[in-house]
Chains A and B, each alone.
Chain A
Amino acid sequence: MGDHDVTLASAIAVEARKAASLPLMWGWTLTEVVVATLVARALASSPIAAGSPGVLTQVPAYVMVVTIVGAVWLVVSEYTTRQVSRSLISVPSRARLLAAKAVVVTGWAVGTGWIALGLAWAASNASRGADVPPAILLGGVYLALMGLIAAALSVVLRGMIVSLTTALLLLVVAPPLVDALTTYGPWLPTIAGQRLLDSVVPSAAQQPAALTLAIWVIATSIGAATRFMRSDA
Chain B
Amino acid sequence: MRVLHAELLKLATLPATWIATALTLGIPPLLALLNGRMLNQALTTGDAGGMVTTDPVDEGFGQVTFGLVGIAVLGVTAISSEYARNSRTVGSGRQILTTVSACPHRWTLFTAKLAALTCWAAGLASLSVTLTLVASRWALGPWAQPWTGTDWSRAVNAAFYLLAMAWVAFGMTALVRNGVIPLALFITNASLVSFSMLAARATEWAKYLPDLAAYPSFLASHPMEHPLPASVGQAVLVVWAVGFVLAAAAVFQRRDA
Contacts and interface: CB of A to CB of B under 8 A. Distances in A.
A62 B191 CA distance: 11
- Which residue among B15, B35, B66, B183 has the maximum number of chain A CB atoms within 10 Å of its CB? B183
A169 B34 contact: no
Interface string B167-210: 00000000000011001100110111101001101100000000
Given A45-B201, A45-B202, A160 B184 contact: no
B85 interface: yes
Interface residues of B, number: 35
Nearest to B33: A181
A177 interface: yes
* Interface residue SS majority, chain A: helix
Contacts of B35: 181
Nearest to A42: B202
Nearest to B81: A161
Contact of B31 (A65, A69, A82, A177): A177
A173 B84 contact: no
Nearest to B51: A180
B193 A164 contact: no
Chain A interface size range: 20 to 34
A168 B184 contact: yes
A176 B180 contact: no
A69 B184 contact: yes
A65 B179 CA distance: 15
B254 interface: no
B38 interface: yes
A73 interface: yes
A43 B187 CA distance: 21
A182 B49 CA distance: 12
Contacts, number: 89
B243 to A, nearest CB: 23
B129 to A, nearest CB: 19
Contacts of A164: 180, 183-184, 187
Contact of B202 (A46, A73, A80, A182): A46
Contacts of B180: 69, 73, 160, 164
Nearest to B193: A61
Given A62-B193, A65-B188, A173-B191, A165 B183 contact: yes
Given A45-B202, A46-B202, A169-B187, A162 B84 contact: no
- Which residue, of A162, A165, A173, A181, has the highest number of chain B Cβ atoms within 10 A? A165
A165 B19 contact: yes
Given A73-B180, A82-B92, A182-B34, A161 B198 contact: no
Interface string A159-199: 01110110011001100110011100000000000000000
Contacts of B76: 161
**Most-contacted residue by chain A among B69, B88, B92 (CB, 10 A):** B69
Interface of A: 39, 41-43, 45-46, 48, 61-62, 65-66, 68-69, 73, 80-82, 160-162, 164-165, 168-169, 172-173, 176-177, 180-182
Interface of B: 15-16, 19, 23, 31, 34-35, 38, 50, 66, 69, 73, 76-77, 80, 84-85, 87-88, 92, 179-180, 183-184, 187-188, 190-193, 195, 198-199, 201-202
